[in-house]
Structure 1
Amino acid sequence: MTPGNNGASTPEDDDPFGYLYADGQANGAQPPSGGYGYPNSVNRVRSVGQRQYGQQAPTAQYGQAQPTAPQQQGVYGQPNAHYAAPETHPGGAPTSPQQSHGGGGGGRGRGPNTKGLLIGAVAVVAAVVIGIGIAMMNGDDDKDDKTGNAAASAPAQQQSGGSEPSPSSGSSKGADSEKKLPEVEAKALRLGGNAALASDVKGAKSGGGVYVGNLNQVGNSVTWSADGIPSDGDYTLFAHYSATGEDQEMTLTVNGKKFGSKMPLGNYTHVKDGDFENGWTTTYAWPTLTKGTNTFTLSCENGDKCNVLLDQLWLKKGRVKD
């Protein structure tokens, strides 16, 4: 076909659907007789009910449409002629119910035994709680035993008579565990040499704040006769005093015999020289006493350092530190 020449055919002849339009019909377009105007097209028209179902559908040739068989729907309440139960086919479903292997009686399977699992879980939790309680009780018992054994097995520190004691601040005169032992205040002491009572420095625990001063001279002393010692044995002699500057020491005599070493009167509070008000502390020695009355003397001898204020003396049974 060339420009200006439409050829032998007209557009309505080329258009297979030209017969559908008014101008195509006016020009004599006719519907195709071969089925939609295409070669080998299928145009099979059947009346209702003419199609036979259950037969093998003809195989369509290449280029032809595959006919589709409509699905026949059975009438409610009546069996479908084309349906067959699975058990009627070879290898189909079994016709009798099979018994479950994991369930109980009656041939019906059962789920997991949740009640048994719950009881088991509760039992485990209860066992754990009981075990923890027993462990805690045993732990407390062990702790008590360890504490008691530690206190009982720790040996008391032995100190030879007259050696320097550990420092301790202040004074505490607790009663003896068996019997209250003798104690004395400054006003009840027998003074020797130029020793004298005073109360101008605060901090003494004796009644009225009285203490013994002016001991810092050779020949000055204090003496105490303690009555009522219950039995022979080791005792602790405590002294409450004030010392400043460098450490001090005086001679201790027990029942007329000089003690093995000096009575330590250290500056355990570490106050500066002359600050007696803040120098009050406690010291001790471990003499061996006899039942009844025992006499103690603190004296300033040659070589001693006696610049102290003496407040109280008291006794305790055994070798103790406070």
Structure 2
Amino acid sequence: MRFRHRAAALAATLALPFAGLVGLASPAQAATSATATFAKTSDWGTGFGGSWTVKNTGTTTINSWAVEWDFPSGTKVTSAWDATVTNSGDHWTAKNVGWNGTLAPGASVSFGFNGSGPGSPSNCKLNGGSCDGTSVPGDAAPSAPGTPTASDITDTSVKLSWSAATDDKGVKNYDVLRDGTKVATVTGTTYTNTGLTKGTDYSYTVQARDTADQTGPASGAVKVRTTGGDDGGNPGGGDKVKLGYFTNWGVYGRNYHVKNLVTSGSAEKITHINYAFGNVQGGKCTIGDAYADYDKAYTADQSVDGVADTWDQPLRGNFNQLRKLKAKYPHIKVIWSFGGWTWSGG
């Protein structure tokens, strides 16, 4: 979310002491410590104003900071300033902006926010350390894993795969979050979520945990729609034709690819795809857009089956993705349309 910058007025009200030590990379900075303190600056019943103050209580300069905390369900940040604030479910993270990340020994900085709901922060961490300045984290938090790739989507399950996170001491495991709620902890980089509802949209992210039990930032989200739904898994509906119109140039401005037919749930419902267009030249059918049709390389997360194209494979682009779609949904028939606009005169 995007936040505006303004000076945070700190009211002398309820102060909850949360603090943490900053775990930095070099031995010379090992004794660096800091505290983070929360204060509720106003309360209007349905919401409140809050402020965090980060103070360098150590003897060396802090170059960046990140405050994490949990809110009870129903409480959330609605706007913030002087920090970049994000969340994964009820877990919130505030990171310094470009101008206020460096703190000399004894210096402090504040950032504020408005919130809704009655709750107060808990389980605070500052740069992965505890919140009272009594301990130093053993290492830096892990990086974000790669955005998950969804494959093997059925009425009730989906397989997720992602690239590994990195950490200076080693990654211990990964939390898999569905719509912001943790559904599994795994040691590898794949997970199959079962027990889902057919024809339903879900969003998945992944967080890494290192050997010091520090969690890193969440990955990007992948949106998934399970198969099945309104038509009971019978897209044909007897003699009915359910045709989708797929344009080869849609991979450019619209950024719409064959895999979108899967993630949106359309592939389960349609019976035919009208692929447009091929050209007509000299009375012969020819390729309309060579790059989009058979040359464009797809990464694993863009591909229907989660397998990346290679530089030397003979067929890539939309044609290869449609081939993979046909293997996954054999009921679909692909019709290649020729002509259209100025291409019908040949």
Whether TM-score is above 0.5 comes out as no
Greater Rg by CA? 1
Instruction: Select the structure that is richer in helix.
Output: 1
* TM-score, length basis structure 2: 0.17
Query: TM-score, structure 1 length as denominator?
Result: 0.18
- Between Structure 1 and Structure 2, the one with more strand by share is 2
Question: Relative contact order (C-alpha < 8 Å, sep 6+): which is higher?
Answer: 1
